[in-house]
Amino acid sequence: GDSAGGGLSLALGLAIRDARDTGLPSCAGIIGLSPWVDLTASTPSILDDECADYLPNLKGGGAAHFLESQASKEYKEKDAAFVAKIKNQNLGPKIWHDSFDRPEGRLQLYVTNKGLAIPYVSPMLAESLGNLPPLLLIAGDDERLRDEAIYFAHRSAEPTKYKGPSYNAGKFEKSPFQTPTNTTFEIYEEMPHDFQFVDYVCTKISYDRIAKFIDRVTNTFNEPFLPSSYNFINLKGEFSPLKERHKKVFNWEKIGIPHEMN
């Protein structure tokens, strides 16, 4: 899946994993192209002035508003009940933070603010990203969603090292899903969000990598997977480790907490 579809694909992987007791078989692998996995829009690249992405940053606000109507009135009543239920829930990972109360309105049209941290809405914020099928995650170096893809990849490949949001502290230790997920992460130099739709050199390289990943995860010979890896791919197609700028998100203390809007 790409963009929102990438987030939905990974959310489906979480749902299948969480339903393991039902005997539901897992998929062979999941591919996320510029996956949207953090609907709290909390990572640094969302506001980065240096990003040359066509997706706008959220400086100056990004709230969604509705005209008053009977439908909006009914929505608000149901929303209030939903909020109360979320705030009072004590089972499973905590999915509420006071920063979700936004006087300017909803942060996303996709979901009410009170559902932003539900793991099937924002997979990056799940209590654990271990025990998933093999992953191939691809992002552009100049895209707004870059940092959430980076953080998701590291949380899945190294679940004991990279934890979730601060308001979910201690939940990972109670999770039954602590086995590292085999994860291949690739970030392409100067590429924007969903760059595979444009005929770049990097597009051809990424499609080749996607084909090889599919071949690998569907290989009937059960050959062992290569270790998890994080790769930076330049415009010449040369592979190297991630750059220092890609590590900023690891020290970000506001994972899962929406940015303050001006």
> Which stretches does DSSP call E strand in the chain?
30-33, 135-140, 183-188, 229-233, 239-240
Segments in 89-220 forming alpha helices (H): 146-157, 201-217
Could you read off the pLDDT of 202-230 as tens digits, one per residue?
999 999 999 999 999 998 677 788 899 99
Domain boundaries, the chain: 4-56+117-251
What single string gives the DSSP state of each residue in 182-234? Answer: -EEEEEETT--TTGGGS--HHHHHHHHHHHHHHHHHT-TT-PPPPPPEEEEE-
Checking if the pLDDT of 32 tops 60, the result is yes
CATH class of 4-56+117-251: alpha beta
Sheet bearing 229-233, strands edge to edge: 30-33, 135-140, 183-188, 229-233, 239-240
Give the pTM.
0.88
Q: What is the mean pLDDT of residues 156-160?
A: 95
Residue 151: per-residue pLDDT = 97
Q: d(Cα 262, Cα 85) in Å, to the nearest integer?
A: 30
pLDDT-wise least confident of 101-105, 119-123, 188-192, 226-230:
101-105
The chain-wide mean pLDDT, for the chain, equals 87
Is it the case that residue 54 has pLDDT exceeding 60? yes
Structure tokens that stand for 44 in this block: 């640094």
Contact 113, 83 (CB under 8 A): no
pLDDT of res. 76: 74
Which pLDDT score, from 0 to 100, does residue 105 have? 72
Q: How confident is the model at residue 64 (pLDDT cuts 50, 70, 90)?
A: low
Least confident of 5-9, 31-35, 76-80, 156-160: 76-80
pLDDT band at 66 (very low <50, low <70, confident <90, very high): low
- pLDDT tens profile 173-197: 889 999 999 999 999 999 999 999 9
List all residues 6 or more positions away from 246 whose beta carbon is below 8 Å from its beta carbon: 146, 147, 150, 187, 232
